[in-house]
A and B are shown apart, each in its own frame.
Chain A
Amino acid sequence: DSGVTQTPKHLITATGQRVTLRCSPRSGDLSVYWYQQSLDQGLQFLIQYYNGEERAKGNILERFSAQQFPDLHSELNLSSLELGDSALYFCASSPSGGANTEAFFGQGTRLTVV
């Protein structure tokens, strides 16, 4: 158990809908990362937060948004969902969010868009 909690574990929704994925980082970790894992794209970095502030942005679509709250939990919002958004979404956390620190990943949320 990495200490990173993601909910829900599974989500099935229809195209055009909006969903929210939630992540609670490990106790004491200030930085949160979001990654998308799909069969054809591999592990794609979406966004990083540190202590409530956005720090780095990757290939995150405009339909997607995220935030980190004062209690350090984070949410990833996906809207106008398309079939191609079906993937495993991971949240990871690390103490400082620096390059020299490993991140610990949650179990992921498997999103299926039908």
Chain B
Amino acid sequence: AQKVTQAQTEISVVEKEDVTLDCVYETRDTTYYLFWYKQPPSGELVFLIRRNSFDEQNEISGRYSWNFQKSTSSFNFTITASQVVDSAVYFCALSEPSNTGNQFYFGTGTSLTVIP
């Protein structure tokens, strides 16, 4: 079963519009960690944010904000006043504490295109 689901495969918005990227996760652990990464056309994966399962406070960083809701197992990402430079593939990921090492479970990504 997929641990992280990003149902939106592709989204297009016009510059300056707000856009929300959805992420739904599945875990049996009470402690876990959620991440968002950005993959611009150049190809590298850029870390955006980490959120701990015990901290449900929403976070804002400039035009970016994240809404973490344990009740719905969601960790959504909103870009306010989108810009062309926001065009990228965005990945949500989950990690679960383990005594046998660690891995990040990535969703399939949402490709965002911001049209000028």
Contacts and interface: CB of A to CB of B under 8 A. Distances in A.
A73 B37 CA distance: 23
Chain B interface main SS type: loop
Contacts of A102: 35, 47, 50
Interface stretch (B17-25, B64-72, B73-81, B101-109): B101-109
B109 A55 contact: no
A61 to B, nearest CB: 16
Interface residues of B, number: 27
A2 to B, nearest CB: 7
A2 B33 CA distance: 21
Interface of A: 2, 31, 33, 42-43, 45, 48, 50, 54-58, 88, 90, 92, 97-108, 110
23 contacts: A42-B108, A42-B109, A43-B91, A43-B109, A45-B103, A45-B104, A45-B105, A48-B101, A56-B98, A56-B100, A56-B102, A99-B32, A99-B102, A100-B50, A100-B52, A100-B95, A104-B47, A105-B44, A105-B45, A105-B47, A107-B44, A108-B43, A108-B45
